[in-house]
Amino acid sequence: MKIKFFFTALLAVFALTACNKSADIITLNGKTMGTTYHIKYLDDGKVAQQAEQAHSQIEGILKDVNAKMSTYIPSSELSRFNQNTQIHTPIAISPELAKVVAEAIRLNKMTDGALDVTVGPLVNLWGFGPEKHTGKEPSPAELNERRAWVGIEKLKLNQTAQQFSLEKTVPQLYVDLSSIAKGFGVDQVADYLEHIGVQHYLVEIGGEIRAKGKNAEQKNWQIAIEQPNFDGSRSAQQVIGIENLGMATSGDYRNYFEENGKRFSHEIDPKTGYPIQHRLASITVLHPSAMTADGLSTALFVLGEEKALAIAEKENLAIYLISKTEKGFETKMSSKFTALLAAQSNKQ
């Protein structure tokens, strides 16, 4: 069950065609979290592990993230919590799961409730999760029933010394971290690469990205933000160079259904229980933490253009928005994103 549609911001991680003879370009690929991952880094001879060893360690890191946060693995920490219907009963969890839940709660407050990792039952009801879509809009009674199961306030994260636990206040509470866990996985891999001495890398999992240093051409890592094309074609709307930043993009133009001429997005507004209805087509967030960028991209997309920009200005966030208009698409960006682009231009 996905709250957020993870598309690869066109990962036109523009080819490392030039070769830095003092460093080897290492490329690692694989599958994780129901999607794929791609990693590039430069080995200048000072990296503590060979590529094969690094790849094995990364596979282990990602397997561990899945074992803690997957809703598709019945034995995962998160699945065991979801399966438990006892209320006001703390369930012990790992520090890693606690970190992601804590960030989800923090971002919920920052975005006026727009990021709600308990919204899964509503996502399912609308046919965007494991439950089969009926082809009909849910009835008010069905929506009211599910809405009673949803709400971040029904989830409690506890800490005693270094021990963490989660508890629920309604038996049906269901937590889905797909709007933030991939970003956490990116951060975990990036932190590992830095631990073994990698200074220049790009890590991408299902479209969530973190980059540090320079590519083999001694330039910032070049990433393309995808143009929203409803016909399924793919093209770049904006290319940016990122350095020491995470990046995440959310959009609704590939995952929706139509009924009686009305278009229903896969992004559900936790407050109303209905799919969002606004003209924002996609939003890209830059932040030092890929986990935070991941969660913010979902939350700000739910809020829509005006509220997203208002929060971005208040919180000094770098965001880039693409909105639908009668004349096509238009773009807007926050002050911090504008400043980042200007700084790049000045370096060229």
Answer yes or no: are the C-beta atoms of 287 and 279 closer than 8 Å: no
pLDDT digits (tens, 9 = 90+) for 269-292: 888 888 887 888 889 999 999 999
For residue 211, the one-letter residue type is A
**Torsion angle of the four alpha carbons 311, 253, 222, 331, in this order, in degrees rounded to the nearest 10:** -50
d(CA 320, CA 129): 28
For residue 327, the one-letter residue type is K
pLDDT of residue 236: 60
47 has pLDDT over 70: yes
pLDDT digits (tens, 9 = 90+) for 164-191: 999 999 999 999 999 999 999 999 999 9
pLDDT of residue 344: 75
Sign of CA dihedral 277, 280, 281, 286: negative
| H or E element, residue 148 | none
Please give the average per-residue pLDDT across 314-321, as a whole number.
97
pLDDT of residue 127: 77
Strands 245-251 and 155-160: unpaired
| CA distances to 50, 51, 54, 195, 277 from 59, in Å | 14, 12, 9, 16, 39
265 has pLDDT over 50: yes
pLDDT of residue 119: 94
Sign of CA dihedral 305, 307, 313, 315: negative
Global confidence as pTM: 0.89
Please give the average per-residue pLDDT across 15-32, as a whole number.
72
